[in-house]
Amino acid sequence: MSPLTDLAVSLMADCATSAFWGCPNIFGMPEYIGIQIINIALTDGVSPGTAQGLFWCLGGASERRHMYRFCSDLAKLGLQMAYKFGSTSDKCRCETLFSAFASGYSPEPIRTIIPRVEAAITEASSAGDRVYEAFARCHALSLRLYCSEHLSDLVPYAEEIVTDIRAWAVNSDTNSLAMGILMTIRALAGETDGRTVDNAFDTEKWKEAHFLHKLHDASGNFNVVMNWYNSFKVWLYNT
């Protein structure tokens, strides 16, 4: 494998992330990029970033083909390749993508995914990958919520994550994802208004209407962020 091919695969993996968040109107673009990364591996050999190509194919396999067992097996193969051929950054990205795209289809209990995501946070921090570090922090927080960790522990943990993300990307989609989880935890802890659907997340200092207005103007993929945000809201009202 030549350094030029390794560079091309690395850039394509970055393009897949950008396509997922920044090109919502181009249907299937991340999956297409993932398939092209795999094609390069089949013709020219495996690169450090090849494993990410497998993960970007998972959306098509699970959501459009309903091949959930295949999706889980492909993700596990991706993790094995990341740890055998990938850099620290590749490992953290694959662990994060596993949590995001494959953990729901994996036969493993959700609680066992938490150490994976915490390892991804450490790896991302050491690699200087602030984007995937923020994604990993969001998924670590959501997994802790799903596993019913005590709210008195989750509220300060969530506030710390939101503060860290805001410090370098205040208007990012990652900040919006983290805010959705934080406000859900606050609502469960009784720290929000909670009397109607429209103000379920409102507090004295935070108003959902203002947040959503800013989100609509600043988000790179408004539909994905709102799907995440509203899913937590629906889950809250059925808890």
Q: How far apart are CA 138 and CA 10, in angstroms?
A: 24
Supply the pTM of this predicted model: 0.88
Confidence of residue 22 (pLDDT cuts 50, 70, 90): confident
Other beta carbons within 10 Å of 77:
13
E strands, the chain, in order = none
Q: State the DSSP code for 203.
A: -
CA distances from 30 to 47, 116, 153 (A): 18, 23, 36
pLDDT digits (tens, 9 = 90+) for 218-239: 887 888 888 888 888 888 877 6
What would the two tokens of residue 199 be?
Answer: 């103000």
- Tens digit of each residue's pLDDT (9 = 90 or more) over 137-187: 999 999 999 998 999 999 999 999 999 888 877 778 888 899 999 999 999
* Residues 174 and 180 sit within 8 Å (Cβ to Cβ): no
Q: Which residue, chain included where needed, has tokens 């396509």?
A: 19
Q: How far apart are CA 45 and CA 93, in angstroms?
A: 20
Token pair for residue 68?
């959930």
